[in-house]
Amino acid sequence: MENQLPLDPRLTEQRNPRSMRIDQLSTLEIVDLINAEDRMVGEAVREEHAAIARCIDMVVAAFRQSGRLIYVGAGTSGRLGVLDASEMPPTYRTDPAMVQGIIAGGLNALVRAQEGAEDHPEGGAAAIDERDVGPRDFVLGIATSGTTPFVHGALRRARERGARTGFLLCTYPSEQLTRTHDVVIAPLVGPEVITGSTRMKAGTATKMVLNTITTAAMVQLGKVYGNLMVDLQVTCEKLRDRGERILMETMGLERAPASELLEAAEGHVKTAIVMGKLGISRAEAKARLEATGGAIGRVLPELAGG
């Protein structure tokens, strides 16, 4: 009789019956097996769409009162939170403080595992104190197994300081977890191909959820026009090319006049669009955007290309 691991109620720690012979498969068969398991992730995330939407509404509410979105995690979960946070400033021209990622073990844990750091709830609480978390903030804990002490310590302290909190996990949430937090997101992706290796399906689900949260929040804050990321600031040649192409698309311009308009807007694409659409100065365009909280759709109600 084959040895079995002790029963663990966490879905992320259970053994996948479909991959029990993976060590006997060919390379192509291993690829096909992993791919078949990965196809389950999107449906698991879709099942949580209502909870994800509630989370987004809380994040947007925090942003609109000058609060922050703060992710807290350990290991892969922490790295994905830091990754999502770090991509906001170059993509949507946000202040780096607006979306932050806390990882157990600090920034060194991004590239080298800090064994044991996740076991200390007081470390999570201290990280929340260091960031002076308060009632305007929303803190999302990420722990695919649902049990990471560092994350629970951080969320407990965040709630004590008045912040709203959410929890993202990939196993069945307990009633206590659901009662404790303002929102719980639990895409049930099932046991991993390699038992307990939550960098796989659980990691993919986590990345999908975080992408959805911040992307939808940025759309609601007016940082997207049509489906174009117009609230970018030109800081390199790649972004200059993208900015010029956005102006060519939305304004019907050739490359040269698009480049001139971008220069006149001091490299800010959204300002350039308002200037060009309304035939106004950079100062007036900025004033109109500021009056609507930066929502380009309220200055220019028609959608790009519509």
Convert the pLDDT of each residue in 140-187 to its tens digit.
999 999 999 999 999 999 999 999 999 999 999 999 999 999 999 999
In this structure, the dihedral spanned by the alpha carbons of residues 238, 290, 81 and 10, taken in order and rounded to 10 degrees, is -140
Catalytic pick among 13, 48, 118, 244: 118
Same domain, residue pair 109 and 62: yes
- Full residue range of the structural domain in which residue 295 is found: 237-299
Place of tokens 């609109």: 64
Specify burial of residue 264 (Cβ count, 10 A radius: 0-12, 13-18, 19+).
middle
Catalytic pick among 87, 249, 260, 284: 87
Same domain, residue pair 181 and 250: no
Task: Choose one of 220, 249, 274: the last residue of a domain.
Answer: 220
Same domain, residue pair 107 and 132: yes
Convert the pLDDT of each residue in 177-190 to its tens digit.
999 999 999 999 99
Same domain, residue pair 129 and 55: yes
Same domain, residue pair 173 and 261: no
Would you state the pLDDT for residue 155?
98
163 within some domain = yes
Give me the phi and psi of 223, to 5 degrees please. Answer: -90, 10
The pLDDT of 271-275, averaged and rounded, is 93
- Distance in angstroms (rounded) separating the CA atoms of residues 247 and 272: 8
136 within some domain = yes
| Catalytic (active site) residue 118 | yes
Same domain, residue pair 123 and 167: yes
What CATH number does residue 264 fall under? 1.10.8.1080
- Distance in angstroms (rounded) separating the CA atoms of residues 258 and 249: 10
What CATH number does residue 99 fall under? 3.40.50.10490
How far, in Å, are 43, 98, 150, 225 from residue 70 at the CA level?
A: 26, 8, 14, 26
Same domain, residue pair 150 and 210: yes
Same domain, residue pair 283 and 247: yes
262 within some domain = yes
Domain count, the chain: 2
**Encoded tokens for 302:** 């028609």
Whether 260 contacts 248, CB under 8 Å: no
| Catalytic (active site) residue 2 | no
What is the gyration radius of the CA atoms in the chain, in angstroms? 22
Pairing of strands 183-185, 164-168: parallel
Given a cut of 80, whether residue 136 has pLDDT beyond it is: yes
Convert the pLDDT of each residue in 23-34 to its tens digit.
999 999 999 999
Q: What is the CA 152 to chain-centroid distance, rounded?
A: 19
Residue of 70, 229, 36, 39 lying closest to 151 (CA atoms): 70
**Encoded tokens for 235:** 């800081």
Given a cut of 90, whether residue 139 has pLDDT beyond it is: yes
Same domain, residue pair 244 and 132: no
Convert the pLDDT of each residue in 63-109 to its tens digit.
999 999 999 999 999 999 999 999 999 888 899 999 999 999 988 88
